[in-house]
């Protein structure tokens, strides 16, 4: 009797573990950086065009967070995304999202302002963890050093990694990357890495 009871308990654990893994896989957060092209209040969607010209459409809810940076409205709010971005087409944003029922649902939108974000592409030649910098050799052969912002984010197959400590483990010498950065007090501050 005891072996049978143990097997039944093991089966329950395996089933529960499978369900937990499935639920965790659906909650993976990804991020995209681009320019707001359209807000549809009726459909509750926000259109974002990335640097490569791809148009993404994200659903938003009253739980979607909004955060502003320097040069944009400061602070963090929840909800009212359509009101916040009304008339702000052309604004640079980073959108954190999950997949829900086949749709991309925005969990948070960071407002980076208009005409503030620049993108540089190249190969990582140095990561200085102590100084929180990354050096990239651009397509034109010149090297530029970028300061990692405390909010620096990278998207990976396992989801978003955020913050210097996590992002520094994702970005490695020899990687081909695009850095999305702003300039503040003469420093190039990285907000987002993409491959």
> What CATH architecture applies to the domain 118-194?
Beta Barrel (2.40)
Question: Quick one: how far is CA 21 from the chain centroid?
Answer: 22
Pick the CATH number of 30-111 from 1.10.1670.40, 3.50.30.50, 3.90.1150.10, 2.40.50.320: 2.40.50.320
| pLDDT the model gives residue 13 | 36
**Do 153 and 107 touch, CB atoms closer than 8 A?**
no
Does the pLDDT at position 73 exceed 70?
Answer: no
Q: Where in the chain is the domain with CATH 2.40.50.320?
A: 30-111, 118-194
Residue labelled with tokens 């974000």? 117
Return all residues near 160 (Cβ < 8 A) that are at least 6 apart.
29, 30, 31, 96, 153, 154
What are the strands, taking DSSP E only, across the chain? 30-40, 45-49, 55-59, 65-68, 75-78, 91-100, 103-114, 118-128, 133-138, 143-156, 159-162, 176-184, 187-194
How far is Cα 91 from Cα 89, in angstroms, rounded to an integer? 6
Burial string for 151-162 (b: 16+ CB within 10 Å, else e) reads: bbbbbbeeebbb
Answer yes or no: is pLDDT of 113 > 50.
yes
How far is C-alpha 48 from the geometric centre of its chain's CA atoms?
13
Q: Taking Cα atoms as reference points, which of 179, 69, 187, 170 lies closest to residue 131?
A: 187
Whole-number pLDDT of residue 14:
35
Residue range 128-175, pLDDT digits in tens: 888 888 899 998 999 999 888 777 776 655 555 555 555 666 778 888
Residues pairing with 144 in the sheet: 136
């Amino acid at each position: 009797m005891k072996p049978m009871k143990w097997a039944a308990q093991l089966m329950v654990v395996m089933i529960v573990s499978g369900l937990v893994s499935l639920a965790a896989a659906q909650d993976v957060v990804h991020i995209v950086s681009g320019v707001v092209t359209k807000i549809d209040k009726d459909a509750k969607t926000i259109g974002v065009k990335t640097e490569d010209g791809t148009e993404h459409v994200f659903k938003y809810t009253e739980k979607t967070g909004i955060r502003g940076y320097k040069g944009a409205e400061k602070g963090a709010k929840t909800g009212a995304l359509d009101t916040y971005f009304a008339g702000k087409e052309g604004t640079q944003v980073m959108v954190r999202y999950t997949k829900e029922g086949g749709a991309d649902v925005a969990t948070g939108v960071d407002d980076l302002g208009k005409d503030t974000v620049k993108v540089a592409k190249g190969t990582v030649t140095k990561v200085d963890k102590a100084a929180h910098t990354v050096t990239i050799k651009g397509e034109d052969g010149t090297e530029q050093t970028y300061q990692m912002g405390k909010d620096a984010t990278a998207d990976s197959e396992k989801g978003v990694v955020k913050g210097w400590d996590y992002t520094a483990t994702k970005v490695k010498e020899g990687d081909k990357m695009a850095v999305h950065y702003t300039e503040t007090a003469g420093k190039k501050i990285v907000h987002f890495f993409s491959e």
